Amino acid sequence: MQSRFMRTATGKAVVPILMAFLLTAVFTSFLSAQTAPEVYSKVKIFTESPQDLLTLREAGMGLDHGYQTEKYLEVFLDSRQMSLLKKTGLNYEVLIPDWNAYYDQNIAMNPAEMKSLQREMKKQYGVQGFEFGSMGGFYTLAEVLTELDSMHLLYPNLISARQSIGTSVEGRDIWMVKISDNPGIDEGEPEVLYTALHHAREPQGMMTVIYFMYQLLENYGTDPEVTFLVNNRELYFVPVVNPDGYEYNRQTNPNGGGMWRKNRLNNGDGTFGVDLNRNYGFQWAYDDNGSSPYTGDQTYRGTAPFSEPETQAIRDFCNAHQFQLALNYHTYSNLLIYPWGYINALPPAPDDQIFINLAVDMTQFNGYAYGNASQLLYPVNGDSDDWMYGEQTTKPKIFTMTPEVGSASDGFWPNPNRIYPLAQENVYPNLRLAWGDEVITADPLDPVPPGSVVAYSDYTTPASMLLSWSDPNALANGDTLLPGDFTIEIERDGAAIASIAGGTETYTDNGLADGVMYTYNLYTKVVATDSLSEVVSVSWTAGGAPQPSAPSNFFVT
């Protein structure tokens, strides 16, 4: 028999050049297949009745996100879902046959266009640190880490260095940072959590979170609300929950537009990925409508609750902390969703009204619709919100909601000119969540704030301001507070200017500019424990009246 190998003069076997070429070609083809983007289509499905929606769910399509009206549903479908849709017999219209081609032709911008748009956005929104990333305007995973490192370098007293809370299926770290006035220590202050990118094709959520982080860092000390929240909260951020899926989208679509959703678990049957937002332990696999048992589905829930290291990391992180509120960012549909997801019902009273009150406040400017998942989209089981709120044994309940950022026209990969506006319209909701009305209440050992706070200046004192107040005499629990037990801390326009011993009740702030309005924050600080009260704010103009403007359009003839 002829040998399959040639031999060199030294007797060592070598592979013939042709065989080496074939092996290389096969291997290259295999790698290409692993990183080739799936073809997705945007489809309008005509649904004349609730039964039509039930037909779609029973077909095992695992629908995720969409724009729904009484007459139709617009969704993105992969090739498998398209095949299932055809079998249902429902009427449909293909709006975008090939999303990747559409993105390249209609949304992607060249570097010169991106640079020009960046200048315009910075000028309009005034956030200096936040910029476009290299993936269709969105940060790549590596660029996210660069941003976190840059924030810590620029603001080491406000934001911690990034810390890993766990690793992904492929071994990538899942990073967390904390923003507070003492980011390196546990301050015992109310804790709030913000996450993004459970789903890898939803980068606007991550951009919205990082934009908000820059808002906090850049406005600390000048914006009274930001300053108070950073001083009195511990704000935690996990901008990329699903690093493998997001990196996979970069590999298949380096210019943006990648539509991979799940993590990158090899399911062992030719399919990849688990939907991380169906893998949490509360009511996991409640039914097959809110999640799927089939590995190839977009909403495949995994083999067991918390089977995935990514959801384990979030679980363990929450169990190790005392989070009171959280936002888990997704896209899209201009919604704010709260529990329950697994059934069409609200949490038990009185929490139902707390969720509603929070949602009403948070959406008053961006106009997002609010409600539970079944009311707004479809049932969801095994999701992060239900677990964070519903699991109350291993940790306290967390008042958790999911913003779905962007409209149907924005989709999963908005035009770059929409990145800043979508992030900006969620700054107010992020701030209101951190206030945590009806959720975050005074610690019994915190002091009562100063009362009857007044600031006054008139034409006789144009360069000074007289502050007066009444001292507190108790802690929040009613225990007596004596003048020697506390100080009154005073900030002007967000910057600390004085610490006044109890029993004084007045302070004169000098060196001011006549006609300029100043805002003062006053709060009580217990000397022995450093416990702080809520802040009382007051504003007044030095000299008693604003500096008048010079006459305009003045001329002499």
3-class state of residue 496 by DSSP: strand
pLDDT for position 232: 86
If you count them, how many residues does the chain have? 557
70: which 2 tokens?
A: 């009484």
* Pairing label, strands 72-78, 92-96: unpaired
Is 27 a residue whose pLDDT tops 50?
Answer: no
pLDDT for position 235: 98
449: region left, alpha or beta (phi > 0 left; psi from -120 to 50 alpha): beta
pLDDT for position 35: 55
Is 444 a residue whose pLDDT tops 90?
Answer: no
Single-letter amino acid code for the residue at 133:
G
- CA gap 493, 539 in Å, rounded: 9
Three-class SS string for 349-365? CCHHHHHHHHHHHHCCC
Percent of the chain with pLDDT over 90: 73
- CA gap 327, 319 in Å, rounded: 16
Supply the DSSP symbol for 60.
T
Helix (H) or strand (E) holding 431: helix 427-435
Percent of the chain with pLDDT over 70: 93
Planar angle of CA 116, 120, 121, nearest 5 degrees: 115
**Predicted confidence band at 430 (pLDDT cuts at 50, 70, 90)?**
very high
77: which 2 tokens?
A: 């479908």
Greater confidence, 227 or 206?
Answer: 206
pLDDT for position 19: 45
Q: Which of 97, 44, 48 is nearest to 73 (CA)?
A: 44
**Predicted confidence band at 119 (pLDDT cuts at 50, 70, 90)?**
very high
Rg over CA atoms, the chain:
28
Q: Tens digit of pLDDT for each residue in 280-299?
A: 999 999 999 899 999 999 99
pLDDT for position 15: 43
**Predicted confidence band at 30 (pLDDT cuts at 50, 70, 90)?**
very low
Active site residues: 404
Supply the DSSP symbol for 547.
P
